[in-house]
Structure 1
Amino acid sequence: MRTRKVPMRKDVVTGEMAPKKELVRIVRDKEGNVSIDETGKKSGRGAYVSIDVEVAKKAKEEKKLDEVFSVDLSEDFYNDLIAYVDHKQARKELFNNDK
């Protein structure tokens, strides 16, 4: 059986490469709206953040996504990102890396 290539992406906060499934995609569309891309397939410019609450908090402290997308993001967006990452991290631990 052939082994499949694992797509790798770079975390914009830590600068480390990781499998795409272990990252959350954030996307900016043509209108300049930034959102969490739960499907990983929205059109627009994407950036990836690790499914790790500490990394998401660091992104908020450093306003990393503001830099990456050249926009001013609200505190609410970063709080939503932290909550989403916390949820994904909990699911990952609960389902033993299956999701």
Structure 2
Amino acid sequence: MKPRKIPMRKDIVTGEMFPKNDLIRVVKNNEDEISIDPTGKANGRGAYIGLDVKIAKEAFKKHTLDKAFGIAVSDEFYEELIAYVDHQQARKELFGDAK
């Protein structure tokens, strides 16, 4: 049986390519609302952040999402993103790759 192709995406903070499952998708919809997309299928412009708290904190420090989406992203959203990344990272360490 042929091995399945693993989809790769670029982390907007580090510029490195990672498997899609190791990244978190952030979406800007038509109403310029920013949200975390756990399914990876929400409508809108998406950007990927690595599943690492250091990367999320660097995105907050550099306001990377502001540049990627062309709008001002609130500090509260960055704090929510850091908390979500921390939770997902701990979950991955506990349970492995199973979501």
Aligned to 1:35: 35
Question: Please, which runs of 5 or more residues in structure 1 have no aligned partner?
Answer: none
Question: Please, which runs of 5 or more residues in structure 2 have no aligned partner?
Answer: none
Query: Which whole-Å CA distance do the structure 1 matches of 2:5 and 2:96 have between them?
Result: 21
Q: CA deviation at 1:97?
A: 2.5
Q: How many residues align?
A: 99
- The alignment yields a C-alpha RMSD, in angstroms, of 0.6
Say yes or no: does 1:8 pair with 2:8.
yes
Q: CA deviation at 1:2?
A: 1.3
Task: Provide TM-score, normalisation by structure 2.
Answer: 0.97
Q: Deviations over 1:17-52 (max 9, x none)?
A: 000000000000011111100111000000000000
- Over 3 Å off, 4+ runs: none
Aligned to 1:68: 68
Query: Which whole-Å CA distance do the structure 2 matches of 1:29 and 1:22 have between them?
Result: 23
Query: Which whole-Å CA distance do the structure 2 matches of 1:50 and 1:18 have between them?
Result: 8
Q: CA deviation at 1:82?
A: 0.1
Query: Which whole-Å CA distance do the structure 2 matches of 1:18 and 1:83 have between them?
Result: 21
